[in-house]
Amino acid sequence: MHILLLEDDTVLADILKDYLQEQYQVTHTYSMKEAMRLCDENRYDLYIFDINVPDGDGITLLKELRAFRDETPAIFITAFHDTKHLTEAFQSGGNDFIKKPFDLEELNVRIDNIKRHFGLDMQITLSDDTAFDPQTHTLNIAGALHKLSAKESECLHYLYKNRNRVVSSDELLQNLWAYDEIPSEDTIRTLIKQLRKHIGKEHIINIRGEGYRYE
């Protein structure tokens, strides 16, 4: 799992990096502008954003990312203890909130909760006889392993994480490819067609004129 960490406190940033790198790949930046550039060029599984950094704040950053339909789960870390910032954090699209000072084990618990909810870094049960491993890009269907391409796996994982809501082709294109590599919508239709062959049409519903919904 790849984490983007935005934290300007050098001491805390080093502590968090050392701790998180025992289990995850971590990219760290002190700058909101640099974080935005990294998000444009790379895909991450989790954002951990400090609310206040010298050139902006994590809440504004996440609002901008959500405006571009980036649904990557996000945890805010902050020294603020008031409900105003808590409310703003969740309204911006944040998924969790942790107040400084905090125990590293508490952060680990919150990350584990995000992983369970979004199916990160673990095998996902799609149905009684089908399990999906997004790390190895494999489907286990009634004991038989089926290998997916990396993009098929990413597409299925994204639809699953956003299950029970409609995801447009444009949203998939923006979240599965870098900005300068975005293909045509035909590519999405091909990916969906291939996934349906594996898991069945009843799990990926085509909502005419809107997009796709995983059920």
Q: Where are the domains of the chain?
A: 2-118, 124-214
Task: Give the domain 2-118 fold.
Answer: Rossmann fold (3.40.50)
Whole-model pTM above 0.75?
no
Per-residue pLDDT tens over the stretch 128-165? 888 898 888 999 988 888 999 999 999 999 999 888 79
Q: Is the pLDDT of residue 84 over 80?
A: yes
- Please indicate whether the domains covering 2-118 and 124-214 agree at the CATH topology level: no
> At 48, is the pLDDT very low, low, confident or very high (cuts 50, 70, 90)?
very high
Lowest mean pLDDT among 62-66, 70-74, 123-127: 123-127
Lowest mean pLDDT among 35-44, 75-84, 99-108: 75-84
Pairing verdict, β 25-29 and 46-50: unpaired
Q: Is the pLDDT of residue 81 over 80?
A: no
What is residue 167's DSSP assignment?
A: B
| Residue 121, pLDDT score | 65
58: CB partners within 8 A, 6+ apart: 6, 32, 49, 50, 51, 52, 74, 76
Per-residue pLDDT tens over the stretch 201-215? 899 999 999 999 998
Name the residue with higher pLDDT: 27 or 79.
Answer: 27
Architecture in CATH for domain 124-214: Orthogonal Bundle (1.10)
- Residues 110-129 have a mean pLDDT of 84
198: CB partners within 8 A, 6+ apart: 139, 141, 146, 148
Q: Is the pLDDT of residue 82 over 80?
A: no
| Residue 60, pLDDT score | 94
- Integer Cα distance of 52 and 49 in angstroms: 9
Per-residue pLDDT tens over the stretch 168-200? 999 999 888 887 788 988 999 999 999 999 998
Query: In the numeric block, which tokens belong to residue 158?
Result: 């994204």
Name the residue with higher pLDDT: 156 or 122.
Answer: 156
